[in-house]
Amino acid sequence: MGTDMLRLLGSHYHFRRAIPHTLRPLLGRTEISLSLQTNSKRVARERAAGLYARTGLFFSKAKAMYEDASPEELRKLLAHYEDLIRDTDRMIAIEEKKVRLERTYEKARLYLDKAHSLKQLQEFIKISNDGIDRLMAGFKKLHATASKDYLRNATEKTMLREQIANLSSIVVSIKNSAQETEAAFMPVQAEPSARTAPNKATPNAKKTTAPTITEMAEQFIYRDKTKSPGIIRDTGKTIGLFVEAFGDKPVDQITGGVAGEFRDMLFALPSTHGKHKNSPGIHDAIVRAKEQELETLSGKTVKNHFSRLSALWGHLVQREIVTRNPWAGWSYDVTQKIDRRDWTDLELAQLSTARWTSTTTSLRSYVGMITIALYTGMRLGELCNLRTQDIVTVNGIRCFHVRPHPEDNWSPKTAAGTRLIPIHSHLLQWGVLDAEISQKGCTSG
């Protein structure tokens, strides 16, 4: 396995392997890209090695039967691939939980060496037991998965079950040690008084689950009638990027670490991402940008993404849905990347004298748009969304009224963009009042 199959995206390593050309039409992808859920290169290499072996075995079997396979066999082959990816994700998650549990136990053991408080000891035992119980439940599910028909290889089954057995024995050992420690301290425990008796949770009490980021965006942004269509649209794009990268996470699980990882990913994302219909996924786009040394998002764009999320979190903090705003307080390099300059006289002359060859837009429309832009300074989007009713008279002065058009889901870029622009005398002489401006924007000047 080459080192090129490991990629550090954000704070986690990812496994990447190209899919053989013959199998790409079946799988609909050019490569496999999976998060290894660790920032340790050593751990990432170990997990990637196992994943490399499993994918290699699948590719060998798939190529041998792909060309002569029936439609039913192709469906089973595709299902086998999907199960492989899903179970790999599940196994990596289980391994990561085991690593975290061992770290937690080691920290707790060191903590107990210094602790003199029985209350602290009992809290540790409770947290350990709860975590171990959840992990054991995950092992049972994984064991059931190992018995399914699509894991036809006996060696795969045996290796998976041995791994589960080893992890289970570690957990059982930890749990037994915790129980023995608890029993050793129990004789010296004083009888709790009515004043100090701990509150016991109701056995059947249900744990509340925090709402997800898309649910909160729907409640506080998308349904807010005071928000402009532009804000709603842009916030939707930001939420979409986050969900693509991390899934639709509950808001109480979105910490400063998650925000930092999202920030790193945005700064590594190509500046053209999302501007084409066939744009690749965010992870593939980041890899491609690094390999091809593409221009990435500017600090200003990343800051805009974080500002939208910070605005949403402002509502959540106020309502005590979350305790803090992880999107606030970050720094950005907002230095202008593009060196803008004035047009030269030669360029202006070429613009005005060049032959017009378009068959979709008339020369008069082109001249009209350039002329109006020259004398108003309007943005292209504002100019193209002018309507006949947007030419108004205010105190005897003819003006362009730049304003939202909700029927077409368009509005000026900012609130200050809604404004009146007096029509220059040269435009009046040119005949702008006689121009044909359709209900959906300028069609001829």
Per-residue pLDDT at 179: 61
C-alpha radius of gyration, the chain, whole number: 31
H helices within 198-298, ranges in order? 213-217, 229-246, 256-267, 282-292
Per-residue pLDDT at 135: 66
Residue 335 lies in a domain: no
For the chain, which residues score pLDDT lower than 70?
Answer: 1-4, 67, 107-208, 277, 336-339, 435-445
Clarify whether residues 69 and 157 are in a common domain. yes
Per-residue pLDDT at 113: 61
Per-residue pLDDT at 83: 75
Residue 334 lies in a domain: no
| Residue with the two structure tokens 């079950």 | 161
Clarify whether residues 232 and 153 are in a common domain. no
Q: Which domain holds residue 370?
A: 345-444
Per-residue pLDDT at 192: 45
Per-residue pLDDT at 260: 92
Residue 330 lies in a domain: no
pLDDT tens digits, one per residue of 350-394: 877 888 888 888 888 888 888 898 899 898 888 888 888 899 999
Clarify whether residues 16 and 77 are in a common domain. yes
Per-residue pLDDT at 440: 45
CB 430 within 8 Å of CB 371: yes
Write the DSSP symbol of residue 218. Answer: I
Clarify whether residues 140 and 238 are in a common domain. no
Clarify whether residues 241 and 168 are in a common domain. no
Clarify whether residues 113 and 31 are in a common domain. yes
Residue 328 lies in a domain: no
Per-residue pLDDT at 26: 77
Residue 331 lies in a domain: no
Per-residue pLDDT at 398: 92
CA distance 414 to 420: 14
Clarify whether residues 227 and 290 are in a common domain. yes
Task: Output the CA–CA distances (angstroms, integers) from residue 331 to 254, 273, 289, 352, in the order listed.
Answer: 19, 22, 23, 44
CB 168 within 8 Å of CB 142: no
- Per the structure, the count of domains in the chain is 3
Clarify whether residues 153 and 16 are in a common domain. yes
Clarify whether residues 112 and 172 are in a common domain. yes
Clarify whether residues 290 and 429 are in a common domain. no
Q: Which residues pair with 445 in a beta bridge?
A: none
